[in-house]
Structure formats: C-alpha cells, structure tokens
Amino acid sequence: MKAIICGAGISGLAAAAFLAGDGWDVVVVEQAAGPRPQGYMVDFFGPGWQAATALGIIPRIRELGYSVERLDYVDGRGRARASLPFARFAQVVRGELVSMLRPDLELAIREAVPPGVHLRYGRTVLAVTQSRASVTATLDDGASLEADLLVGADGIHSVIRELVFGPEPEFLHYLGFHVGAYSFRDPEVASLVGDRFAVTDTRNEAMFFYRLRDGTITAMAVHRTDDPARPDDPQDMLRSRYGRLEWICPAALRHCPRDLYYDQVAQIRMPRWHTGCTVLVGDAAAAVSLLAGQGASLGMAAAYVLADELKKQPDLGRALDSFETRIRPLVLEHQKAGVSAAHWFVPATRHAVLMRRAVIRLARIPGLTRLISSAVVGKSGAALTSSQNPSPE
Ligand SMILES: Cc1cc2nc3c(=O)[nH]c(=O)nc-3n(C[C@H](O)[C@H](O)[C@H](O)COP(=O)(O)OP(=O)(O)OC[C@H]3O[C@@H](n4cnc5c(N)ncnc54)[C@H](O)[C@@H]3O)c2cc1C
C-alpha cells in the first residue's frame, strides 16, 4: 500500500513513521526547503504521549525538552504577582509532561521515521484527483504521484483541505488573537528571565519568555484583535503594539527579527475529515489553537490512531470512519477548552487579570491543585484505545 503525506510537521512525520512502520510505502511532500527552524515552546503531554511511547521516542523527547518548575505572571519590574506550580501539574499527569521547542519535537519524530520514507522538501501539491480506489497528487515540479491514501498534514492553512474539502473560510474559526514567536540571544535579558516561564501580567497583549539551556530566549507575543488579517509588517506591528510593556519587553522587541513566526489564532472545525482516499490529520483537520495547548499532542495521537485503524481494517472507508470516531471526542473536548481559555489567556479587562491572579493563588491550596491542574492540562488521560481509558482524576 502506498501513501502520500503532505506536510512534514509533527502530524505528518508521525503519520510517516507509523505507516512506514506498518509496511506502507510512504512519500512525504513538504513545502519548506528543509526542517523548519522557527520555533516556539510547546508543552507536550496528553494523548500524544502514548503515540510517542509507541514510537519509542520518549527518552529523546526528555533529552531535548525541559522540566519547567513554574510559570510566573510578572509585573513591570519582573516580580512574580502569581505563580503556577508547573511541576505539580506534571505530577497530575504522572510526570508525562515535557516542555520543548516545536522544531525539537519534530526532530525527535523525524529520527524515528524509517529510512525508506522519501522526504521531498521544497515541494507542494497543486492538484488532487481521486478515483474509487486511488488518489493522484500533482506536485509543483510537474511530478504526478499515485497512491492508495493521501494524508493532508499540512497545518491550519492546509492546501489539501482547500483542494479536496473546500475553501478555508468554511472551516476556520478565528478566536480573536494574533501570535508572534521568535528567539534571540541577550545575556542580560537571559539572567532576568531566570529558570521559569515568565509572562507579563498584562491585559490585551502579553509577552511570554523562556530561557533555553544554551541561553537563547524564546519569546512569544499574543494580543487581542478583532481583525483576523495578518499585518503587512508583523515586526513593525509588534514593536508598536507592545511598546507600552515594561521590564525586558523593550529589549526583546528590539531583538524581534523580520522572519518571525506570525499567525492568527484559530481553530479548524470540520464535520468530516476524510473523503474517498484522502484524510486530514493534525491542525489541517482540527486545529485546537495554542489556547487549548495540545495541538501537537493531538496531531501525534491522530497519526497513531490512523495507522492503527488502517492496520485493523482492510476497507479504507471503514478504517477512516473508525479513525474519526476515536479521535473526534478528544478534539471536541480540547476545542471547547480552547474557547473557554480565551477569557483568561490574555485577559481583556483589569477585573479578568485580578480574577486570574486569584485563581492561580488557589492552585497553592492542597486539593485544589488537582482541580486547577485538570482545568489547565485537560483530561489528558483520555487515551487512544478504542474503549477510552479513565482520566487520572
Ligand atoms: C505559539 C504556539 C504555541 C503552541 N503551544 C502548544 C503547546 O504548548 N502544546 C501543544 O501540544 N501544541 C501547541 N501548539 C500547537 C501546535 O504547535 C500545533 O498544533 C502543531 O504544530 C500542529 O502540527 P501539524 O503537523 O498538524 O501542523 P504544522 O505544525 O503546521 O505542520 C504543517 C507542515 O506542513 C507544511 N506545509 C504547509 N503547507 C504546505 C503545502 N502547501 N505543501 C507542503 N507542505 C506544507 C508546513 O511547512 C509544516 O511543515 C502551539 C501553537 C502555537 C502557534
């Protein structure tokens, strides 16, 4: 059996690793010239952990990742106004939580992709035609690839979704935020960040900082806006929009490069993720957004379940139906959580900032830690078996 996978991100590489491991002949088409270096920190835990375990990459994930002790919401001088005990959240999920750069997670998965998989960087899909039993993808170099299955794993702005299922506006739900992310080096800033996630305790726009073990600072900027359109010059926009923030923010904004990661914050909601011989996985099918915070994990989980169902079920249509039945409840749960998180993630009012501080302080009260942790980290025990495992609560 032959599969074409469009997108060599977390979901696409995981799908390649699982399908090739089951004997599929796999080609991956990726538009970037090589592995994408642009990164931001992701907290990796939840359903994808089981998939990563199946791939045998947990030791590598732990090696590349970080165990964050706490997340401080800081004032204009960098002093913590409220602290989330991240380490205690990790306990709630039995220590199965690692914070890491997205490119490092991709690296760990890429290393698990069997050597027979053909990774074609610098290429995209221009057209898709399907017959009853096969699918043909035409690439931008004129090549025509035929396969039994086409997997669209090309992210929130998926071209496979556009070509096979319909235009993006039908499925994209804007959540009212934009996000920018980049890395820089500045020893003075690094010493002020220290060994914690530091987040400005501000409303309408907030900056997030973390110091990597080589001293590099990863910065993320999230702000509210009613306009989903990307600004012409994101670097310039960030510098003016975040100009009022204090502490290390002016220095961090001076380091902001032109080629930063920048996008709207949105979810993809589709009634169906497969048609004929084409299926979508990860953000392409069901982006939950950074507000829900488990997109990477769900993308890996989807790849794992897809391969599992294809292994169990010789009929492609039935296998894809079963795949959707198993993954959809997890996605819906996290999309709901993402929408609820919008209120407190970057609050809009002073009252909401104060409420967030109060709730975070409750996390220090024994017993409530578990409740608040579950609200923050979700029902991460919801697993990938056909009959769902109970949550750790
Ligand atoms: C700032 C931020 C913070 C986040 N934090 C977390 C977190 O803490 N925990 C978590 O689990 N998730 C988090 N997420 C979400 C997570 O990063 C995504 O859900 C995850 O990366 C989705 O993986 P994917 O492989 O489905 O899509 P992507 O990562 O978008 O990968 C898609 C791939 O397809 C390629 N591609 C795109 N278009 C084409 C095309 N036309 N042709 C060929 N290739 C194409 C892209 O270059 C890319 O390599 C965060 C996201 C953001 C933006």
Tens digit of pLDDT at every position of the chain (393 positions)? 999 999 999 999 999 999 999 999 999 999 999 999 878 999 999 999 999 999 999 999 999 999 888 889 999 999 999 888 887 778 878 889 999 999 999 999 999 999 999 999 999 999 999 998 999 999 999 999 999 999 999 999 999 999 999 999 999 999 999 999 999 999 999 999 999 999 999 999 999 999 999 999 999 999 999 999 999 999 999 999 999 999 999 999 999 999 999 999 999 999 999 999 999 999 999 999 998 889 999 999 999 999 999 999 999 999 999 999 999 999 999 999 889 888 888 999 999 889 888 888 776 666 556 556 555 544 444 445 543 333 332
Element (H, E) at 127: strand 125-130
Nearest ligand 1 atom to alpha carbon 298: 11
Q: How far apart are CA 20 and CA 92, in angstroms?
A: 34
Tell me the best of 11, 110, 259 to mutate to test the pocket of ligand 1, counting ligand atoms within 8 Å of each CB and taking the most.
11
Tell me the pairing of strands 80-84 and 217-224: unpaired
Q: What is the β-pairing status of strands 125-130 and 118-121?
A: unpaired
Q: Which domains does the chain have, with CATH numbers?
A: 2-66+104-171+267-348 (3.50.50.60)
Angle at 367 between CA 195 and CA 92, to 5 degrees: 55
Ligand 1 binding pocket includes 180 (Cβ within 6 Å): no
- Res 39: pLDDT: 82
Cβ of residue 9 lying under 6 Å from some atom of ligand 1: yes
Residue closest to 18 by CA, chosen among 39, 42, 48, 45: 48
Q: Best of 31, 100, 164, 207 to mutate for ligand 1, by most ligand atoms within 8 A of CB?
A: 31
Query: What is the number of residues in the chain?
Result: 393
The confidence score (pLDDT) of residue 85 equals 82
pLDDT of residue 367: 59
User: What residue type is assigned to position 21 of the chain?
Assistant: G
Ligand 1 atom closest to Cα of residue 263: 53
Closest-lying ligand 1 atom to the alpha carbon of residue 7: 34
> Atom 11 (ligand 1): residue with closest C-alpha?
294
CA-proximal residue: ligand 1, atom 3 (nearest)? 290
Q: Which atom of ligand 1 is nearest to the CA of 46?
A: 11
Question: Is there an atom of ligand 1 within 6 Å of 266 CB?
Answer: no
Centre of ligand 1 from the C-alpha of residue 278, in Å: 19
The first and second tokens of residue 251, run together, are: 């220095």
Q: How far apart are CA 356 and CA 202, in angstroms?
A: 11
Using the mean position of ligand 1's atoms as its centre, give its distance from the Cα of residue 104 in Å. Answer: 13
39 Cβ closer than 6 Å to some ligand 1 atom: no
